[in-house]
Amino acid sequence: MMEAPEFDRSIGMELYATNSLGCGGRLRARSEDFVVEEIALDQSYEGGRFLIVEVEKTDWDTHHLVRDLSRQLKISQKRISWAGTKDKNAVTRQRMSISGLDEDELSRSSLPDVKIRALGRSNRAVALGDLRGNRFSIRIREIDLEEDEASRRLEAVTGEIRAQGGLPNYFGVQRFGEVRPVTHLVGEALVRGDPEMAAMTYLALPFPGEPETTRSARERLLADRDFGQALKEYPLRLRYERAMISRLMEGSDWATSFDVLAKNLKRLFVHAYQSLLFNRILSRRMRAGLPLDRAVEGDVVCFSKDGLPDPDKIQKVDASNLAAVNRLAERGRAFVTLPLFGYESEFADGVPGEMERSVLEEEGVEQSDFRVPANPDLGSPGYRRPALLRFDPVVVVEGGGSALLKFDLPAGSYATVVLREYMKSA
């Protein structure tokens, strides 16, 4: 296995799963080069208090979109729900539900680069469990290879992916923050019982990819803790940071200052730290040569529901059931899982369990720390996630230094995890 570049290693993605050379190139040269469309489980609408809409947006963060949309519709953000956040720098299509809104009231919305189409009404809000997966159509541009060589490399990666039955189900860079990867650092500080460090990391830790004015404002706040001055200097687009600063100026403590954030957003911090630890366990398993597509004694597996992994239905593997579990795994009906540590997590047994425990011990944190006693709304009970990302990619080399990749991924998996294997950019 090939070692990954430094940034990938910093978020736990220590290895590539394929050994073939990558094609390099550039992603997101244009927004339309990255298209994501939800695959919904249920698309029947038989009436009810929730208006179901399809939202097509270009270069919009989901949380910012919901905030602006609620303002234009003159309703609370809490009345809008969705199944999953989507890439910002992309063209995305996703379902949302809006409680108690008539279809003709959508005319009050006129956000740039946003199209909203009513699909019907339902008695159920759109929620996380409603999403079967996402369909991706992604173009890589500026591939500096002859067309034949690009084809050979891309076909070789595809061959390895199919031979392995997929790729390691890493959490991709979006989980941690693409321009400003601090989400997991905030989560780590919360888990370690330091909400002050968590808040200041979120508000004030600067990163090179940010605009100069933003970076300098963060640097000043980090140095002098002058929240009044920060509120004058922070750009209006930093809505969440400004809201937290205002709360702190009103006398809020560090931990509850996070309560001004949308519920989905404030939960991302501890989840991102869990994701970092998951990536590290997955890399450790790969280094040890343990399989991802079948179980070994001690593993915890989940089983399929509607053709997808269901982490709520799990079983430990021992000598008595190993053969039966792996027969199911061969048919895509059982899946090896790894933990996202939380206060209710259970460890695997045997060698897999030793790996899990060693990662947590090296971090110097305990499962109970994931309760975040200073603000339990930020904590997480933990859950398990499949170790292998199963999918079937289609790659077309278009000439002129570009290639088009098409594939479907289950909900919660990341297209960037696929793309890194094909590109292998430094």
Backbone angles phi, psi at 72, to 5 degrees: -65, -35
Other residues' Cβ atoms within 10 Å of the Cβ of residue 237: 11
* Beta bridge pairs of residue 82: 96
What is the β-pairing status of strands 402-410 and 91-99?
Answer: unpaired
Q: How far apart are CA 294 and CA 77, in angstroms?
A: 43
Catalytic residue among 8, 33, 87, 299, which? Answer: 87
Helix (H) / strand (E) containing 318: none
Other residues' Cβ atoms within 10 Å of the Cβ of residue 153: 22
Q: How far apart are CA 339 and CA 316, in angstroms?
A: 13
Distances (CA, A) of 57 to 82, 114, 241, 414, 418: 14, 4, 24, 19, 23
Q: How far is CA 403 from the centre of its chain?
A: 24
Q: Which residue has the tokens 């208090």?
A: 49
Active site residue 259: no
Q: Which residues are catalytic?
A: 87
